[in-house]
Amino acid sequence: MSKLETDSIHAGLVPEENLQALSLPPISTGVSYKLPAFGSKLFDALLMENDQAAHVYSRWSNPTVRVLEERVAALENAPATVAVASGMAAISALVFTFLSAGDHLIANEVCYAGAVELFAVHLPRFGIEVSLVDTSDLDQVQDAVRPNTKLIYIESPVNPLMKIVDIGACAAIAHAAGAKLAVDSTFATPVLQRPFDIGADFVIHSMTKYLNGHGDALGGIILGSGQDMLRIRREMLVHLGGALSPFNAYLILRGLASLQLRMEKHCASAGQIASFLEAHPKVEKVFYPGLESHPHHSLAKSQMSSMGGMLAFRLKGGLGAAITLAEKVKVFSYATSLGHPESLLFYYPTDIYFESAAYYNQEQKSRLRDWAGDGIMRASIGLEDVETLQKDLDQALRRRYWKSAAGNLLYPLVKRSLSTK
């Protein structure tokens, strides 16, 4: 019997002290921890001198959350990490820790909507300068650099457009400018992409998505150097307060056990569905990094070990076809989020998106329209049987439905319902 294989599953476990927990830690719900009355251990804990200092209060650190932090740090090959309540809590902790009035941020003009809105609408309120550029075009990144650039923030693959951004090249631009590079690697997970190995200073995940993988817990994580993570914990976890619930940490730990297996299935099914859609008469264009037709296909192949479970596509029938697809799928659900066991679809109509994004200039809008046409359907390919998923899309795409024809007619109504919200 191989010792190594057994050890890799059992080593380090102390059953006597941990009877209730074979592979997962207990859910430590206690908010406050008994402290030494006085002395250096007390000061270590209160000042959070290091990652291993005793727990004081659950907003600062928690035993269940710490197990999750150590596990994700190992997966991502990161020196240190802070887990927080959501992906957005991770992104806000990052920018509020490292950016001050007078600093400059360069970020993807399109990425997770909550992140772009935080950057474009809120950071300027605090005197932080923001440039939104297409970071998949390195000239734009380079041209945006200013003497006060502190942080370059990218997502790759980009949500929802599925552009691929060159992480190593952006790291080089950031470092030459004396700035740091943060990568939101949510779509790729540590299974497909290792940003630290190619120069990233920070990696962010919405653990709500693939890391948990079950669609039943919000969570986020920031990874980086020991010093930077300690700063985030002391300055932002303590003061902004976006602490992760230990129950959610437990759920995410439970989900993580199957991450590799799930990603293999998500990737295989998404690859098959991407090819199927590319050949479909109702589909105008498919954006999946694994397709040779994807403009960033070769970069994706060099940066990612497999092409992921997310794809985007344009429909020949525009908004009407999107409404039909959304209403006529039976196995897919029309819903936001991604990385769940269930397959999900979500549509971004370009004009409506522009209306909610007053910060885009004409150049940014025309770039977005070039890629997304009049709208883009994002698909998160789940863990269901792939033939069933394919048939489901096919029947919904071919469906005759009065709303397909009424797409353009419906558009003003959709617009009005959005603007009165």
Ligand X SMILES: *Cc1c(COP(=O)(O)O)cnc(C)c1O
Write out the residues near ligand X by the rule CB under 6 A.
86-88, 112, 114-115, 155, 159, 184, 186-187, 206, 208-209, 218, 220
What is the distance between the terminal CA atoms of the chain, rounded to a whole angstrom? 64
Question: Distance between CA 313 and CA 324 in Å, rounded?
Answer: 15
The smaller minimum CB distance to ligand X, of residues 88 and 323, is found at 88
**Rounded Cα–Cα distance for residues 186 and 115 (Å):** 13
Contacts 24+ apart (CB under 8 A), 173-177: 173/138, 173/141, 173/142, 173/145, 174/149, 174/201, 175/199, 177/145, 177/149
Nearest distance, CB of residue 236 and ligand X, angstroms? 15
> At closest approach, how far in Å is the CB of 161 from ligand X?
11
Rounded-to-integer distance, Cα 43 and Cα 49, Å:
8
Closest C-alpha among 346, 324, 321, 319 to residue 335: 346
Q: Provide CB contacts within 8 A for 373, sequence distance 6+.
A: 284, 285, 314, 350
Nearest residue (CB) to ligand X, 54 versus 113: 113
Q: Residue number with the shortest CB distance to ligand X?
A: 87
- Least distance from C-beta 2 to ligand X, angstroms? 39
What whole-number distance in Å separates Cα of residue 149 and Cα of residue 131? 10
In the complex, least distance from residue 44 CB atom to ligand X, rounded to whole angstroms: 31
Cβ neighbours of residue 16 under 8 Å, at least 6 residues apart?
none
With H, G, I as helix, E, B as strand and everything else as coil, classify residue 145.
Answer: coil
Compare residues 86 and 404 and give the one whose CB is closer to ligand X: 86
Question: What is the spatial distance between Cα 139 and Cα 159, in angstroms, rounded to a whole number?
Answer: 21
Cβ of residue 178: shortest distance to ligand X, in angstroms?
Answer: 26
- Give the nearest distance from C-beta 340 to ligand X in angstroms: 11
Give the residue with the Cβ less far from ligand X, 104 or 209: 209
Nearer of residues 115 and 323 to ligand X, judged by Cβ: 115
Shortest distance, position 111 Cβ to ligand X, whole Å: 7
For ligand X, the closer CB: 209 or 314: 209
Which residue number, 323 or 357, has a Cβ lying nearer to ligand X? 357
Residue 135's nearest CA partner among 291, 286, 294, 296 is 296
**Cβ 334 to ligand X shortest distance, Å:** 17
Q: Closer to ligand X by CB, 324 or 380: give it.
A: 380
The separation between CA 154 and the C-alpha centre of its own chain, rounded to angstroms, equals 11
Beta bridge partners of 333: 344
Whole-angstrom Cα distance, residue 118 to residue 204?
15
Paired tokens of 79: 């020196």
Element (H, E) at 132: strand 129-133
Comparing CB distances to ligand X, the nearer of 119 and 187 is: 187
Q: What is the DSSP string of 84-125?
A: ESSHHHHHHHHHHHH--TT-EEEEESSS-HHHHHIIIIIGGG
Nearest residue (CB) to ligand X, 110 versus 319: 110
Identity of the residue, 320 or 339, whose beta carbon is nearer to ligand X in the bound complex: 339
Shortest distance (Å) from residue 245 CB to ligand X:
13
Q: Which residues contact 83 (CB under 8 A, 6 or more apart)?
A: 65, 68, 69, 72, 207, 219, 220, 221, 244, 249
CB of 392 to ligand X, least distance (A): 23
Minimum CB distance to ligand X, residue 156 (Å): 10
